A and B are shown apart, each in its own frame.
Chain A
Amino acid sequence: MIYLDYQATTPLAPEAREAMLHWLGGPGSDGFANPHSPYRAGRAAAAAIEVARDQVAALLPPGGRVIFTSGATEALNLAIRGCDAGALAVSAIEHAAVLDTARALDPALTLLPVDRDGLVAADVVIPAGTGLVAVMQVNNEIGTVQPISAIAARAHAIGALVLCDAVQGAGKLAMPDGADLIAISAHKLYGPKGIGALWVRDGVTLDAQITGGGQEAGLRSGTLSPALAAGFGAAAHLCTTLWESDAEHVDRLWIQARTAFAGWALNGSATARWHGNLNVRLDGLDAARLMSECRTVAISAGSACASGSGRTSHVLRALGLSDKEAKNALRIGFGRYTGTEELDEAMAAITAAARAQGLPA
């Protein structure tokens, strides 16, 4: 199988897996202790978590702290529910973890529109009285990169906090300036599933959503897994050392894939974009049928979470595409471990499947 769905999840980096193994210790080892226990083995586990926290913090801006969570969904819930902001404004192309949570808290929320390129305007109007603005850094479906710093400046001018879902950008792009809260997920940057983080700017206060033992400075209770933290830390560290070569590799793959798909329309901006995301459409294509026919290639038609729901992508609709056009779209995602030959092979299989539908692919 050729895996081209790097927005849904990424392969676990061998280095991250290796970093986890010591902390998955069995009887007689010193690698299983509860990091909140006061004796030696517990302190060693706690120290490993702090090393990981520093490694993750290196991906994030200075002047804040890293709160470990079970993933980005929990981090986003903690941010949105925990800041008790009242009126909310979120971009129309946010992930469901933001949209659904925000709608639950503020049914009258403001949806910040995007243009046909999938970008929120840098001078977007944010209604007075808004308490929290949430705009994602890199969209998970179409890869567009939002002008967070400019939006944050406007939000701050009216006294609102800024939450940035940086799940797709963390470890790949520099974090945007201006955000007060940033959510990231380990398994989107070659780390393990089951851990993520919320970065909280110094001075921003939140109410905990999972209370109990009072871990993570009281903001997130629950025994932390030293293994998951160590895997996250190692993956983050790898990103800080590889991010230039990762980006160069992805740019080469992007050119290769764009060339192979020259006849397809690109969804979202070609330039304000993370190039590891190629979201394309072909008039008349039955994307669902193509995916079921291309059994050796793992791609998707939007977010993994919404897969199989039959719902039209809210992101593609926000670009102004019709329901019909939205169902013509494929999301092809690649990254560090994608080879040029397998990408060629996958492109050929996708092209052949589109031609079998009688289309000029």
Chain B
Amino acid sequence: MPAPITYLDHAATTPLLPAAQAAMAHGFAIWANPSSPHRAGRAARAALEDARARIAAALGWTGEVILTSGASEALAIAITRARRPVSAVSTVEHEAVLRHTGPALRLAVDQVGQVILPDPAVLGGLVAIQHVNNETGVIQPIDGIYEQVRAAGGVLLADAAQSAGKLPLPPADLIAISAHKFGGPAGTGALLVRDWALLNPGGGQERGYRGGTENLPGVLAMAAALEQGHDWMETAAAMRARLDAGVVAAGGQVIAADGPRIATIGAIRAPGLAANAQLIRLDAMGIAVSAGSACSSGSLRTSHVLTAMAVDGADTVIRVSIGRETTAADIDRFIAAWAGLVAGTRR
């Protein structure tokens, strides 16, 4: 077993919460197919529907819940089955949205990464705006956007993979969430649907909106993780303030420092020090952080998010992301290591 790491990459994935681990163990024990009509199947079905109701309750969602294999699938269902064609998406969406929405208009963002509201004429179809950006933590002004989309007769899809379980849900018609970003397991997520009429059906399970035998242990664990609440966000804010202060003191820069940001994500820049070089050295010191999204790690592409924000030196930016169990000691350990790297470049 390798030595314990200082894990500051909670935007990539989070440790499974003990309550979620216990729920999974229970799920493994009730392994029948929830679609089977016999008693074992009905027991699995009952557990599944109970978990679905608990997920909605924990999120404060009064609409429908389609259980999926994760946020990517939820977004694919929303975009490919929405009755409205996509009319506009922000430039800073996750690839899971961008790659499904080829010709749709891209909405620009300002220097802190917030969407610049366009002419309402382009908001009459399906509009995809993420709640919180996965690379910078910037929170979009969804309330205002939703008002405009509704006024234009459009439908709003919000990718809430980074915010669900941490912030109240954004107002939207369709919301994608992912369990492994809030202490649940990878392989489970959901599409929240305000009204079935927004989507064309397809698939034999999930009321005819998604096919495939449900991953019951994963769903139970997602419900349990959500029920752990987000009262730790104040602590996270203190940790992020500590991180920001340390970064500035070390001569670094905090991206979108003045923008509204979720407390769990900080994008920071070490001028003159390539992001990959930072990652390799930090990894060698047992510190896990990332450059942008985990999916694009190692690709050496410049982040489309930072480019859209016109950040100078985007290839020197790394992401530090905080979780429920992150302590001041973790932040201090990171800052000490990182400040050493930054100082090294100046010699």
Contact = CB atoms under 8 A, between A and B. Distances in A.
B1 A30 contact: yes
Contact of A29 (B15, B75, B212): B15
A201 to B, nearest CB: 23
Interface stretch (A57-65, A214-222, A239-247): A214-222
A36 B95 CA distance: 14
> For the side of the interface on A, what is the size category?
35 or more
Nearest to A5: B36
Given A70-B212, A194-B187, A222-B72, A32 B13 contact: yes
B217 A34 contact: no
Interface in A1-56: 1, 3, 5, 8-9, 11-12, 17, 24-30, 32-34, 36-42, 44
Contact of A25 (B16, B38, B95, B202): B16
Contacts of A187: 31, 33, 213
Contact of A27 (B15, B287, B295): B15
A307 B186 contact: no
B116 interface: no
A212 B99 contact: yes
B24 interface: yes
A277 interface: no
A340 interface: no
Contacts of B5: 30, 39-41
A357 interface: no
Contacts of A39: 5, 9, 279, 282-283, 287-290
Interface string A336-356: 000000000000000000000
B32 interface: yes
A28 B75 CA distance: 31
A329 interface: no
A210 interface: yes
A215 B298 CA distance: 12
A116 B189 CA distance: 43
Contacts of A9: 31-33, 36, 213
Contacts of B283: 38-40
A33 B100 CA distance: 27
Interface in B239-271: none
A83 interface: no
Contacts of A210: 72-73, 76, 96
B87 interface: no
A304 interface: yes
Contacts of A3: 32, 40
Interface string A218-242: 0001111111100000000000000
B34 to A, nearest CB: 8
A34 B295 CA distance: 9
A8 B21 contact: no
B2 A100 contact: no
Interface in A302-351: 304-308
Given A28-B325, A212-B96, A221-B95, A70 B204 contact: no
A130 interface: no
A316 B34 CA distance: 23
B205 interface: yes
Contact of B185 (A27, A42, A225): A225
Contact of A213 (B35, B216, B294): B294
Given A32-B15, A224-B186, A37 B296 contact: no
Contacts of A96: 204, 211
Interface in A222-276: 222-228
Q: Which of B37, B68, B288 has the most CB of A within 10 A?
A: B37
B137 interface: no
Interface string B188-228: 10000000000000111100000111111110000000000
Interface in A80-122: 96-97, 100, 104
Interface in B1-53: 1-2, 4-5, 7, 9, 12-18, 21, 24, 28, 31-33, 35-41
A12 B32 contact: no
Contacts of A27: 15, 323-325
Interface in B105-151: none
Given A25-B16, A26-B15, A96-B204, A225 B186 contact: yes
A221 B96 contact: yes
A148 B38 CA distance: 33
B7 A308 contact: no
Most-contacted residue by chain A among B17, B40, B69, B94 (CB, 10 A): B69
A305 B13 contact: no
A192 B186 CA distance: 13
A298 interface: yes
Contact of A73 (B15, B203, B282): B203
Given A8-B32, A37-B294, A193-B215, A30 B4 contact: yes
A221 B295 contact: yes
Contacts of B37: 291, 300-301, 304, 307-308
B212 A36 contact: no
16 contacts: A1-B40, A5-B32, A5-B33, A5-B40, A32-B13, A33-B12, A37-B294, A41-B2, A193-B31, A193-B216, A210-B72, A211-B100, A212-B75, A213-B295, A222-B72, A222-B73
Given A38-B279, A40-B283, A97-B204, 20 more contacts: A3-B32, A5-B33, A5-B40, A8-B32, A8-B36, A24-B185, A27-B15, A34-B294, A37-B12, A38-B297, A70-B69, A70-B187, A194-B188, A194-B217, A213-B296, A215-B295, A221-B95, A222-B96, A223-B13, A307-B41
- List the 7 closest A-B pairs by CB distance, nearest first: A213-B295, A194-B215, A212-B96, A70-B69, A225-B187, A211-B99, A222-B72
